[in-house]
Amino acid sequence: MFQQDMMFAMDRVENALFLSIFVTIWTVGMAAMMFPAIVPMVLLYNRLVNSNGSQAQVSVDAPARKTYSVKALLFVCCYLVVWSLTGIALLLGWSEMMHLLGESVGQSMHYVFAAVLTITGIYQFTPLKTKCLGYCESPMSFFMRRWSSGTSGTIKMGLFHGLYCLGCCWPYFLLMVALGWMNFFWMALFAAIIFGEKIWCKGIWVARVAGIGFIAAGILVATEVIQTGPMIGSMGFESIENEDAMNAMLLRPLQ
């Protein structure tokens, strides 16, 4: 599993090299997860750019079409930059938290899971979640409010869309860090929730139903009705034979 590979990579190679590998894998994973939700936005942007180009000139030649395709690609790349930086922040933050917990990490882990689940659930009902989701689920509304021409405009809109998407989804990825980096089950689950939120016009109800589920799960984990053992197992820890090496890996922050 990727979690196991990540641990050994952190233990055996320079952190700069590992960070580069991690960012690449994380970004590819985020692109796969967010692809269904971002497609309508990218298709509309490409159509708007082509429409503007057609109005500006009678015939649209091949070089012009290539320019518009590059703009759409640039839009997506700027969007992914936001998620790449988010992945780095999550990796460093999780490593530092494990370091601060120190030797009590084993006894405290179920409280960490409970807190993350509860925070994720509560956030689903906040005004910020509603506002960001409003921009993400309505591509036309986004472009009407954030349209900016030229290459610099493409960069700005790509970054803005990434930030709004981050505002919608960051708790899911915080949860994914706690439950297991790049665990395919959690990736599929959160991708389905994100897709429902952004594609359906009443996506906020998908978010709130999920929020209720997260809060309930957080309470059950905090009261130990649900044991955190299976969660830890889902991260691949059970396949690491040397428990001392595993603990050292968790407690050592990135330098």
18 inside domain: yes
The number of residues in the chain equals 255
30 inside domain: yes
State the Cα–Cα distance between residues 74 and 247, nearest whole angstrom. Answer: 42
The pLDDT tens digits for 80-138 are 999 889 888 887 887 777 677 665 566 667 788 888 899 999 999 999 999 888 888 78
Main-chain phi, psi angles of 10, to 5 degrees: -65, -30
Candidates 33, 38, 10; CA nearest to 185 is 33
199 inside domain: yes
254 inside domain: no
**pLDDT of 5:** 44
9 inside domain: yes
Amino acid residing at 10: M
Dihedral class, residue 150 (left if φ above 0, else alpha if ψ from -120 to 50, else beta): left
**pLDDT of 79:** 92
252 inside domain: no
How many domains are contained in the chain?
Answer: 1
135 inside domain: yes
Q: Which domain holds residue 238?
A: 2-247
**pLDDT of 60:** 39
- Residues 141-148 have a mean pLDDT of 86
The pLDDT tens digits for 208-239 are 999 999 999 999 988 878 766 434 433 333 33
45 inside domain: yes
